[in-house]
């Protein structure tokens, strides 16, 4: 079982990774971050993506959808932003956020690797 630090290091090792964060979407707080920098403030990204997750959860409730969100993808001109809602024990209300360089990333592999990281994460 991986802890937060190990999970973030694994996420940062994904090809094309710019930065990653573990975020509590009930508060909007990043519980841990790795990478980022002047071009990507992960604290701001955590708070902003919390609004995205809350909006999607609320929309699903209004539509009466009884399904679970696996991940949310935001595609920019040069980046992918991947949000993976966590479902394991003790992870309710958390998501992994991963920003990827579009030219260097393989989106399918990144999704697969985030799923693996989620399965090993113990909080």
Q: What pTM was computed for the model? A: 0.92
6-23 CB burial, b ≥16 within 10 A, e <16: ebbebbbebebbbbbbbb
> What pairs with residue 95 in β-bridges?
23, 85
- Helix (H) / strand (E) element for 119: namely helix 107-120
Give the chain's mean pLDDT: 92
| 16-40 pLDDT, tens digit each | 999 999 999 999 999 999 999 888 9
Rounded CA separation 17/109 (Å): 12
Q: Is 61 helix (H, G, I), strand (E, B) or coil?
A: helix
Tell me the C-alpha distance between 113 and 2, whole Å: 14
């Amino acid at each position: 079982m991986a802890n937060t630090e190990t999970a973030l290091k694994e996420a940062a090792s994904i090809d094309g990774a710019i930065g990653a964060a573990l975020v509590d979407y009930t508060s909007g707080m990043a519980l841990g971050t790795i990478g980022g920098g002047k071009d990507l403030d992960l604290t701001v990204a955590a708070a902003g993506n919390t609004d995205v997750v809350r909006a999607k959860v609320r929309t699903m409730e209004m539509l009466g959808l009884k399904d679970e969100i696996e991940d949310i993808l935001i595609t920019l001109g040069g980046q992918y932003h991947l949000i993976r809602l966590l479902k394991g024990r003790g992870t309710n209300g958390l998501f992994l956020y991963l920003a990827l360089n579009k030219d260097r990333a393989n989106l399918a592999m990144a999704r697969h690797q985030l799923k693996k990281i989620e399965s090993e994460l113990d909080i």
